[in-house]
């Protein structure tokens, strides 16, 4: 009973210490900032938002705390040799990798890179005699790479669970520019969750003993342990225009959990065969890239679900707590008739809604191609489109920026878009200029044709409309 009480006492002290660290509040601020950016993007695209930044931050914080408690219990059996220098190297590695690809801001990539660097320095025998290089190599050689890879694996299992749990419910509708230059609808499954962790590490001085031997950390029987409290941010981002949000979230969550289980299992295997560390580090890179390739390859060649086709008005999203949500609308459904009138675009939909100010009857084709009939009374102050966000047509003003490959590209795209110099705005400007030139050319041709027409001879009488040629 004493070891358990010691663990609980140490966990309580470490949990209180977590609230004194600025990193925890920085993590929450980053979650709020990410949610706020999504809200701002939605307002810019279609002037409303599905959920507020405060709601998204709170729900993700609660989910992250629950997941953190579960992972901390796993950490009691895993252990590690983490130090403050290890955490510093992780942040440095992720920062350097982000210069090449934004998606490299991931613990799996950082752990894999540090594992390969550690193996490379060991094989080549590079040693720094003094100074910063010597200290950096000393810290690098002391990093517990197997424990770090195991942590990356179970964090991806948690990420997959959170994507399945909240990914589809908090997916963001988008307007994107299609391959043929026409706007199309899509969904961004995106989220950032703060995970507070209490992780078992060898104690520097005072600590507590355990009746079991953790997997990692290099300790044996009678070794003193302590708990290291630190927050971790996990995030997910993907887009889909060919799958329903819940379908995409389910598939992405499953593949993430499988990936995490494989990496965690390989990390455990390094305990029994040390050369497996290099294999696990490479697998962390290759398999993660394989997940991205698999996700995007499933989108290629499939029908775009959120594009207007002229057969009706396609629904992109449904605002929560609105008449549309009460009627049971789903993204991807097609509105064929409103109040008995056939509608093929948003203007016709709005005009048909105005025909009956107090009531509406709709004929809708659901996702399975079946027709359903909906009706509801309308009240003053309700959304003029019942709370529906329609798929974009060619008259949309903004589209979301493409994925940024690196930090530098992201900064360029943001600046260009803000100044009106993004590729989308330039293409629109060139198209408008070409249309103006074409209209001017047509006007000049018509003017020239009018000048060339012969004038009637005023000396001849006009031909009678009753004149007929004799046979």
pLDDT band at 260 (very low <50, low <70, confident <90, very high): very high
Residues 309-320 pLDDT 10s = 888 999 999 999
Closest CA to 103 of 283, 250, 285: 285
- Residue-level pLDDT at 421: 46
Residue 338 and residue 260 in one domain: no
In what helix (H) or strand (E) does residue 309 lie, and over which residues does it extend? Answer: none
CA 367 to chain centre: 24
Lowest mean pLDDT among 17-21, 156-160, 186-190, 234-238: 17-21
Q: Check whether residue 332 and residue 271 sit in a common domain.
A: no
User: Taking 50 as the threshold, does the pLDDT of residue 415 lie above it?
Assistant: no
Q: Which of 390, 407, 430 is a domain's end point? A: 390
Same-domain check for residues 69 and 206: yes
In percent, how much of the chain has pLDDT > 70? 84
Of the three residues 390, 418, 452, the one that is the final residue of a domain is 390
pLDDT of residue 452: 59
Q: Are both 206 and 291 inside the same structural domain?
A: yes
Q: Which of the 8 DSSP states describes residue 173?
A: E
Whether 258 maps to a domain, the answer reads yes
pLDDT of residue 365: 94
Average predicted confidence (pLDDT) for the chain: 81
- Please check whether residue 130 lies inside any domain of the structure: yes
Instruction: Give per-residue pLDDT as tens, 91-119.
Output: 788 778 777 776 777 888 888 888 888 88
- Same domain (yes/no): 182, 87: yes
Order of strands, sheet of 172-177, starting from the edge strand that comes earlier in the sequence: 172-177, 183-202, 225-240
Residue 215: strand, helix, or coil? coil
Rounded Cα gap, residues 445 and 436, in angstroms: 14
Work out the average pLDDT over 356-368.
89
Range 64-70 average pLDDT: 93
Q: Are 331 and 314 in contact (CB under 8 A)?
A: no
C-alpha–C-alpha distance, residues 255 and 277, integer Å = 22
| DSSP-assigned beta bridge partners for residue 239 | 188
Q: Helix (H, G, I), strand (E, B), or coil: what is residue 358?
A: coil
Averaged pLDDT for residues 30-35: 88
Residue 293 lies in a domain: yes
Q: What is the pLDDT at residue 429?
A: 65
Which of these three, 390, 423, 451, is where a domain ends?
A: 390
In this structure, the answer to whether residues 191 and 148 fall within a common structural domain is yes
CA–CA distance, 282 with 288 (Å, rounded to integer): 10
Residue 3 and residue 213 in contact, taking contact as beta carbons nearer than 8 Å: no
Q: Is residue 436 part of a domain?
A: no
pLDDT digits (tens, 9 = 90+) for 279-288: 999 999 899 9
Across 280-417, the runs of DSSP E, i.e. the strands, are 313-318, 334-338, 341-342, 359-365, 371-377, 388-390
With beta carbons less than 8 A apart as the criterion, state whether 227 and 199 touch: yes
Q: Are residues 294 and 325 in the same domain?
A: no
In a domain, 88, yes or no: yes
**Residue 454, domain member (yes or no):** no
> What's 349's domain CATH number?
2.30.42.10
> Would you say 401 and 414 are in contact if contact means Cβ atoms under 8 Å apart?
yes
| 8 A C-beta contact, residue 246 and residue 334 | no
Would you state the structure tokens that stand for residue 465, as one six-digit string? 């409309």
Q: What is the pLDDT of residues 140-156, one digit of tens each?
A: 877 888 888 999 999 99
Q: Does 279 lie in the same domain as 144?
A: yes
What pLDDT is attached to residue 63?
A: 94
SS3 435: helix
Q: Are residues 242 and 337 in the same domain?
A: no
Give the residue numbers spanning the domain of 40: 2-299
Confidence band of 337 (pLDDT split at 50, 70, 90): very high
Confidence band (pLDDT; 50, 70, 90) for 417? very low
Radius of gyration of the CA atoms of the chain, in A: 31
Q: What is the pLDDT of residue 419?
A: 31
- Whether residues 113 and 260 share a domain: the answer is yes
In this predicted structure, the answer to whether residue 40 has a pLDDT above a threshold of 50 is yes
Backbone φ and ψ for 374, nearest 5 degrees, come out as -125, 145
Instruction: Evaluate whether 316 touches 335 at the Cβ level (below 8 Å).
Output: no
Contact status, residue 308 vs residue 314, Cβ threshold 8 Å:
yes
Task: Decide if 433 is inside a domain.
Answer: no
pTM assigned to the model: 0.80
- pLDDT value for 23: 78
Number of domains in the chain: 2
In this prediction, residue 71 has a pLDDT band, given cuts at 50, 70 and 90, of very high
Q: Give the 3-state secondary structure of residue 12.
A: helix
Report if residue 411 sits inside a domain: no
Residue 88 binned pLDDT confidence (cut-offs 50, 70, 90): confident
- Check whether 469 has a pLDDT greater than 70: no
% of the chain with per-residue pLDDT over 90: 27
Residues 289 and 236 in one domain: yes
**What is the pLDDT averaged over residues 161-180?**
87
Instruction: Tokens for 397, please give them.
Output: 């003003």
Same domain, 278 and 330: no
């Amino acid at each position: 009973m004493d070891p358990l009480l010691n663990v609980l006492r140490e966990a309580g002290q470490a949990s209180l210490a977590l609230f004194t660290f600025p990193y925890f509040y920085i993590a929450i601020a980053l979650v709020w900032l990410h949610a706020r950016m999504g809200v701002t993007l939605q307002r810019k695209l279609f002037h409303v938002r599905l959920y507020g930044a405060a709601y998204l931050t709170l729900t993700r914080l609660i989910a992250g705390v629950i997941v953190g408690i579960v992972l901390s219990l796993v950490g009691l059996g895993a252990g590690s040799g983490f130090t403050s220098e290890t955490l510093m190297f992780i942040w440095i590695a992720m920062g350097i990798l982000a210069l090449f690809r934004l998606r490299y801001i991931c613990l799996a990539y950082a752990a894999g890179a540090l594992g390969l660097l550690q193996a490379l320095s060991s094989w080549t025998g590079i040693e720094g005699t003094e100074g910063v290089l010597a200290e950096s190599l000393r810290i690098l050689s002391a990093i517990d790479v197997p424990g770090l890879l195991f942590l990356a694996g179970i964090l991806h299992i948690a990420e997959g669970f959170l994507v399945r749990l909240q990914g589809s419910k908090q997916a963001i509708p988008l307007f994107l520019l299609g391959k043929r230059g026409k706007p199309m609808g899509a969904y961004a499954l995106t989220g950032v969750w703060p995970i507070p962790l209490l992780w078992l590490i060898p104690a520097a001085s005072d600590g507590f003993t355990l009746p079991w031997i953790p997997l990692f950390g290099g300790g044996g029987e009678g070794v003193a342990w302590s708990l290291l409290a630190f927050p971790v941010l996990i995030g997910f981002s993907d887009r889909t225009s060919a799958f329903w949000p819940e379908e995409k979230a389910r598939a992405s969550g499953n593949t993430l959990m499988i990936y995490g289980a494989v990496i965690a299992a390989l990390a455990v295997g390094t305990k029994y065969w040390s050369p497996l560390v290099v294999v696990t580090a490479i697998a962390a890179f290759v398999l993660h890239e394989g997940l991205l390739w698999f996700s995007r390859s499933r989108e290629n060649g499939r029908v775009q679900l959120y594009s207007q086709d002229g057969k009706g008005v396609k629904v992109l999203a449904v605002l929560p707590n609105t008449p549309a949500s009460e009627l049971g609308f789903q993204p991807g459904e097609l509105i064929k008739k409103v109040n008995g009138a056939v509608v093929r675009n948003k203007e016709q939909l709005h005009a048909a809604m105005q025909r009956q100010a107090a009531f509406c009857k709709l004929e809708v084709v659901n996702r399975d191609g079946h027709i359903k009939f909906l009706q509801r009374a309308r009240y003053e102050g309700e959304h003029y489109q019942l709370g529906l966000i329609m798929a974009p047509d060619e008259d949309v003003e903004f589209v979301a920026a493409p994925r940024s490959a690196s930090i530098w590209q992201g900064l360029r795209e943001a600046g260009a878009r803000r100044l009106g110099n993004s590729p989308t705005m330039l293409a629109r400007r060139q198209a408008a200029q070409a249309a103006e030139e074409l209209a001017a050319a047509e006007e000049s041709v018509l003017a020239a044709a009018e000048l060339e027409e012969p004038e009637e001879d005023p000396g001849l009488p006009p031909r009678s409309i009753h004149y007929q040629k004799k046979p």
